[in-house]
Amino acid sequence: MKRRPNLCLDLLIGVVLLLPAPLANAAGWWRLPVWGAEVRVFAVDPFAPATLYCGTSRGNFYGSTDGGGSWTPLRQGAAFPGYIATGLIADPEVPGRVWATLAGQFQGGLIARSDDRGANWTVLSKWKVSVATRALALAPGNPLLLAVGGDDGVRISKDGGETWNLTGDMTPGLYQVESLAFAPNDRRTLYAGTWRQAFRTRDGGETWARIAEGMVLDATIYAWDFASQDPHDIWVSTCGWVYRTQNGGDRWTRFKNGFTNRRSHNVRRDPNRPDVVYAGTVGGLHRSTDGGETWSRISRETLVVTALEVDHRSGRLYVGTEGEGVFYSDDAGVTLVPGSVGLAEGRVSDLVTDPNDPSRVFFFRAYAGQESGVWEAHGMRVRRLSLDPLPPAASLAVFRGPDGSTVLLLSSFNGLKVSFDGGGRWWPPERAPAGTPIALFASGFGSPVLVTTAGVFRTTDGKTFNAVPGSPESPTNAELLADGNGTPILEVKMADGVVRWDGASWDNRRRALLSGGKFLAHYRGEIAPAPVRSPVKEVDGNLIWEEAGQRRTVRSPRPGLSVASTLAMPHGQLYVGTAGDGLFLFEP
C-alpha cells in the first residue's frame, strides 16, 4: 500500500485474513494524528543544533531535529513498557550517548544508556522492588560520575553505571529522593531534593547534611537550576512555590507573590534575558521578570506543566505537559507554539458510530488537557468537536433521537452532559437521574441505559431519564454481558448480590454466558444501524470479528498494545482506540 499524500501518519503493515480462506493480500495499519503525551523530561543534544529528546510517562523516548516542532520515536515499538521516564541526560562529552532513568509504574526502576541517540538501549542496573531511580545526575570527567536517587536514598557510580554505592544512608531524612544535581565545575558537590527538603554533600557522598534553613518541612524539591556565572546561585521548584539560594544552599528564600498555583514541578532561568525565570506548575506556566520577586501566569490555567528546558544556544523555551505534549516559545513564553506532532500517546476510548452516518465515528479523548473531549474520525481525518469544557475522562454514547437526529450522551463522575448539535455544545439534561453515574450503555436495549448509585435509568431523548422498574436501589458496578444466544444482559452488582436484566425483567439466576462474558468497548457506546456487526475480540494478539457471515482476523498493530475500544466498520475497516498509544485504523 502506498502512503497517501499530505497525511502525516505512521504506517504499520499488517495482514488481514478471511478465515478459513487462504491468506489475503497485505493490508495496512495507520496511526491517526491524535497527538499528545505526558512529557516528563527533556534533554538538549549538545552536539546537534535544534535537536532534543524527551521522555514520557509511558516509558518512551522521542527525538526532535526541528527544535521541538515534530517528534519521532527514538526506537520502534514500546521502549520501556510499564515504566515512567524520570531522568534524561544527553552526554556532554560523547556524541550520541544518552542516559536515562525510569521508575516502575508500581515498583522498581532501572538506569539505561544508549550510544546511538536512543535507537538501542543497554540496561545498566535494575531494581525490582525499590524505586531507586526517581532522579538522575551526571558529572562529566574521569571518572565519569553518575548519581541516582529514590526511595532509600542516593547511589553513586564511578564506572559508568556498572556498580553503585549507597551513600548517606545514615543521614536522617535522606530518603524519598525526588531530584539530584551536581554543582557546575565541582563534581564533589552533589545536591539532593527529597520529599522533605534539600540535602548536600561536598565530599563526593562521604558525608551529607540537610540544607533547609528557610524551607518549610514539606517542601518536596522537584528540580534544580544553577546560574551560569555563579554555581552558588540556585533556584529550586517545590510543592510549595519556588525557592532561591545565593550561597549554595546555606539559606533559602521562598518566592510566591503572583503565583496562581503553588505546586511547581520545574524552574528554569532564561539564559538570554536577565532576571527572567520560568516556573512550570500544575496550574500553568509562570514567569518572573524581576529576578523572582513577582510572578505572573502567562499561560492558561488548565495547562499542567510537567517539564521545562531552555536551549542555551537558541534561547528557545520548551514546555512539557500532562497529556498535551510539547509547546515551545521564542518570546519568553508570551507565545506557546504547539509542537506535539509525532507524540502518539493519546488516550482514546468509546469509539461509536453516528447512527445517521455510518462512515462517521465519534470518540472520547481522555486526559489530554485542552484537547480532551469528543472528537470525530472520517477515515483517516480526525478533528475535535466539543467546544465546551468536558471532564478529563468520561463514557460516550450516541443514539438516534425521537426526531431522527443524532444525540450524544456523556457520563462521568461529575454527572451527565448531552449534545444535540453533533458534539459541539453540551448541556446537562433537563431531568437528570438520581445518584452518581457508574456505567453508560447504549447498545442492545433500543435506547441508552445508565447505571448510577441510585438505580438503573433509561432515556429516549437525552433530556429526561426514567427509572427502570424493578431495578436495584444501590448499584456498585455494572457490566454488559451476553447469554448463550447472544442476547444482551445487563449485570448489576450491589453490596449484597448480583442481578441481571434482559431488557424486560430482572432476576438473580445464574445463566450460561458466551465465552468471555463481556462485550468489548465496541458495544458500550452505540445504537448501531442494522445490520449489527459482531463485537471485536482480542485473542493471542489477534483482533477478531465477523462481517457478512465471515470471520475476520487481523494482527494487533503491535504486541502489548493496551486496547481500550474497538469499532468494526463496513468492508473490513477497523478502528482501535488505546489507553495511551493513540488511535489506529486498519484498512484492508
Residues 500-508: what's their mean pLDDT? 88
pLDDT at 181: 98
Angstrom CA distances, 52 to 62, 146, 318, 436, stand at 9, 21, 10, 45
pLDDT at 484: 67
CATH of the domain at 432: 2.130.10.10
Distance of alpha carbon 321 from alpha carbon 281, whole angstroms: 10
Q: Can you give the residue range of the structural domain that contains 513? A: 348-531
Residues 315-331: what's their mean pLDDT? 97
Residues 521-532: what's their mean pLDDT? 35
Residue 506 lies in a domain: yes
Q: Partners of 483 in the beta sheet? A: 513
Residues 151-164: what's their mean pLDDT? 94
pLDDT at 213: 96
Contacts of 129 (CB under 8 A, 6+ apart): 107, 108
297 phi/psi in degrees, rounded to 5: -80, 125
Query: Which is higher by pLDDT, 552 or 265?
Result: 265
Q: How far is CA 227 from the centre of its chain?
A: 32
Question: Are the CB atoms for 245 and 252 separated by under 8 Å?
Answer: yes
Distance of alpha carbon 307 from alpha carbon 320, whole angstroms: 5
Three-state DSSP class for 422?
coil
pLDDT at 549: 65
Buried b (16+ CB within 10 A) or exposed e, 287-321: bbbeebeebebbbeeebbbbbbbbbeeeebbbbbb
Question: Are the CB atoms for 399 and 447 separated by under 8 Å?
Answer: yes
Residue 423 lies in a domain: yes
| Reported confidence tier of residue 570, pLDDT bands at 50, 70, 90 | confident
232 phi/psi in degrees, rounded to 5: -85, -10
Distance of alpha carbon 435 from alpha carbon 451, whole angstroms: 9
Residues 123-128: what's their mean pLDDT? 95
- Summarised one tens digit per residue, pLDDT across range 191-206 is 999 999 999 999 999 9
Residues 482-501: what's their mean pLDDT? 85
Distance of alpha carbon 478 from alpha carbon 452, whole angstroms: 9
Give the cell for residue 53. Answer: 529528546
State the residue for C-alpha cell 459541539.
Answer: 424
Q: Partners of 62 in the beta sheet? A: 54, 73
Residues 215-233: what's their mean pLDDT? 93
Share of the chain above pLDDT 70, in %: 90
- Summarised one tens digit per residue, pLDDT across range 47-106 is 999 999 999 999 999 999 999 999 999 987 778 999 999 999 999 999 999 999 999 999
Q: Which of 357, 351, 349, 350 is nearest to 529 (CA)?
A: 357
Distance of alpha carbon 287 from alpha carbon 334, whole angstroms: 10
pLDDT at 270: 96
Angstrom CA distances, 61 to 53, 125, 302, 305, stand at 7, 18, 25, 18
Residue 490 lies in a domain: yes
Q: Partners of 235 in the beta sheet? A: 225, 244
Residue 451 lies in a domain: yes
pLDDT at 547: 65
Distance of alpha carbon 145 from alpha carbon 163, whole angstroms: 11
Residue 114 lies in a domain: no
pLDDT at 552: 79
- Summarised one tens digit per residue, pLDDT across range 341-380 is 999 999 998 999 999 998 999 999 999 999 999 999 998 8
| Reported confidence tier of residue 486, pLDDT bands at 50, 70, 90 | low
Residue 93 lies in a domain: no
| Reported confidence tier of residue 1, pLDDT bands at 50, 70, 90 | very low
| Reported confidence tier of residue 551, pLDDT bands at 50, 70, 90 | confident
Residue 319 lies in a domain: no
Distance of alpha carbon 553 from alpha carbon 20, whole angstroms: 10
Strands (E), 391-541: 395-400, 406-412, 415-419, 437-441, 449-452, 455-458, 466-467, 477-483, 488-494, 497-501, 506-507, 513-518, 537-539
- Summarised one tens digit per residue, pLDDT across range 9-53 is 333 333 333 333 222 344 799 999 999 999 999 999 999 999 999
Averaged pLDDT score across all residues of the chain: 88
Residue 59 lies in a domain: no
Contacts of 323 (CB under 8 A, 6+ apart): 36, 37, 38, 304, 346, 347, 367, 368, 369, 371, 372
Does residue 495 surpass a pLDDT of 50?
yes
Total count of domains within the chain: 1
pLDDT at 22: 29
560 phi/psi in degrees, rounded to 5: 75, 10
